[in-house]
Amino acid sequence: MPVAAAVALWHRAHLYKALACVVLALIALQYLLSGVLDRRSIETIFTINTTRYADHAYRSHPHGLIIYGLGVSPTYPPSTLNITSTAQLTVPALRDINNATKQDVNATRIAPVSSPNTTDPSIPQLCPLIPPNLVGPLTVNKNPPEVLKMEKELTGVETGGRGWPSHCTPRHRVAIIIPFRDRPQHLQTLLYNLHPMLLRQQISYQIFIVEQEGTGLFNRAMLMNVGYVEALKEQKFDCFIFHDVDLLPEDDRNLYTCPEQPRHMSVAIDKFKYRLPYTDLFGGVSAMSREQFRLVNGFSNVFWGWGGEDDDMANRIKSQNLHISRYPANIARYKMLLHKREKANPRRYEVLKTGKNRFPTDGLTDLKYQLIEKKKPKLYTWLLVRLTPPQPS
């Protein structure tokens, strides 16, 4: 064989070897990365994009969900859940993150829960990341039965408006805070629609109705501060949902849990033609973790009468370098019950403008109230409170 041909053959053989090495390296890299992505996807709490579920077909395909968004997923000691132990959950990787929001980059991880015997079927495991019994769009019922009949129908609800899954350990402890006065029919309608949805979401929850005593100007924000404080006397909730009594959820995939960032829940309301009125809106239904609410010093106490307190909270959130997160509008849908408009606060814009100066001193830090009465009927925990206006500093 000529020398030139032998040299060419030698170079060709080494080129093939080099290409084979590159291919093997790429395969190994893909294998390693797929393992990382699987672990990350298992740890990500979901927000579901409903574009795949425009019709009823999604009910037959519970695993065809698109995953994006995140949530805080605490674990609880067995003593707080009336169980003996918990077991680590194993679920298939959720790979479809094409619609991931920028929140996902810093998604909160789920702390593993250990068990001395994970093969014991009597030990409740963590509830699935995706609640299996969600139905999606809901038929809102604006004509609830009488209270006694409601109590009989809602068999999964315990005294004080508490609920939790019976066959798994809930990942979230949630307090639902509802500021209230003079709307018993609205409250009855909300409870009738809300309880079944929360039970399907497999969270541990308790509904608190915080009623303002007297006939003076209503202070919705201050009542929510009271609800936060009083709820923590019951147990150490991780998440707080602040909920107007006249808003009925239309989709149970709108999870009543807390994400990494404060969440505005009532994105699309029928009264506003299911459109968000403005970007910084935080009113209606909103979710904050215990730490976030403490960080922003709660709601302001100085908004007497209708309006302003939610915009002030949005400013508080931004002042702490947090941002408002939202589910898609085709999930975060609500119907609003008709009611007479509350008397507006004529000074709300003035108070809102000067709010930044009061953030550290106006809120949980100067909250004063008197708990007049507390009762626990089956469907809720009722708090009657007398509010004390904060004194000028």
Which position among 63, 167, 275, 341 bears the catalytic label?
Answer: 341
Which position among 104, 230, 244, 366 bears the catalytic label?
Answer: 244
Query: What is the C-alpha to C-alpha distance for residues 134 and 155, in angstroms, rounded to an integer?
Result: 18
- To the query of whether residue 336 is one of the catalytic residues in this protein, the response is yes
What is the maximum span of the chain, computed from C-alpha positions, in angstroms?
108
Q: Is beta strand 268-269 parallel, antiparallel or unpaired with respect to 381-387?
A: unpaired
Which position among 339, 347, 373, 386 bears the catalytic label?
Answer: 339
- To the query of whether residue 309 is one of the catalytic residues in this protein, the response is yes
Asked if 227 and 210 count as a contact pair (C-beta separation under 8 A), the reply is: yes
- To the query of whether residue 265 is one of the catalytic residues in this protein, the response is no
Which position among 109, 151, 213, 336 bears the catalytic label?
Answer: 336
Three-state DSSP at 350 gives helix
Q: Where are the beta strands (DSSP E) in 145-289?
A: 162-163, 173-180, 204-212, 239-243, 247-249, 263-264, 268-269, 285-289
Which position among 238, 251, 309, 311 bears the catalytic label?
Answer: 309
- To the query of whether residue 313 is one of the catalytic residues in this protein, the response is no
- To the query of whether residue 310 is one of the catalytic residues in this protein, the response is yes
Which position among 104, 211, 230, 246 bears the catalytic label?
Answer: 246
- To the query of whether residue 244 is one of the catalytic residues in this protein, the response is yes
Query: What is the C-alpha to C-alpha distance for residues 289 and 384, in angstroms, rounded to an integer?
Result: 24
Q: Where are the beta strands (DSSP E) in the chain?
A: 47-48, 67-68, 162-163, 173-180, 204-212, 239-243, 247-249, 263-264, 268-269, 285-289, 325-326, 333-336, 369-375, 381-387
Q: Which helix (H) or strand (E) holds 293?
A: helix 290-295
What separation in angstroms does the CA of 37 have from each of 25, 34, 40, 90, 98? 18, 5, 5, 15, 13
Which position among 211, 230, 260, 310 bears the catalytic label?
Answer: 310
Burial readout 72-84 (b: 16 or more C-beta within 10 A, e: otherwise): bbbbbeeeebeee
Which positions are catalytic?
A: 244, 246, 306, 309-310, 336, 339, 341
